[in-house]
């Protein structure tokens, strides 16, 4: 019989695989939703995107990352894209807005 540590490792691996599949399912549902092209998609789109973000944070945690480190890395990526004058920033200013939002939270 396996000891507790082995069982915890197996449980964690299964959880990681489940989280990965849930992220992919959410991505597929988002693609499907956007392909349909209905008018009022705001609520469903928000739900899917927030679910992907939630699952990504939890997956990171299961992989040994802290929420703080994930947030810090996200902030660094935004800053780097600002420095590199990313097209999304040039066209819409989304990165500056997101950086401001993250710093307020």
- One-character DSSP codes across 20-53: HHHHHHHHHHHHHHHHHT-S--HHHHHHHHHHHH
Contact 48, 28 (CB under 8 A): no
What pLDDT shows up at residue 2?
63
Q: 26-71 pLDDT, tens per residue?
A: 999 999 999 988 778 999 999 999 999 999 999 999 999 999 999 9
What pLDDT shows up at residue 59?
98
- For the entire predicted model, the pTM comes to 0.87
Sketch the domain layout of the chain as residue ranges. Answer: 1-65, 66-105
What pLDDT shows up at residue 82?
97
């Amino acid at each position: 019989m396996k000891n507790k540590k082995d069982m915890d490792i197996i449980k964690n691996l299964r959880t990681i695989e489940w989280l990965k599949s849930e992220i992919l399912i959410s991505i597929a549902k988002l693609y499907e939703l956007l392909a349909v092209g209905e008018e009022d998609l705001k609520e469903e789109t928000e739900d899917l995107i927030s679910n992907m973000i939630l699952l990504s944070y939890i997956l990171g945690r299961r992989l040994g990352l802290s929420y703080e480190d994930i947030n810090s890395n996200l902030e660094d990526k935004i800053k780097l894209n600002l420095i590199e004058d990313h097209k999304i920033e040039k066209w819409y200013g989304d990165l500056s807005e997101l950086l401001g939002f993250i710093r307020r939270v």
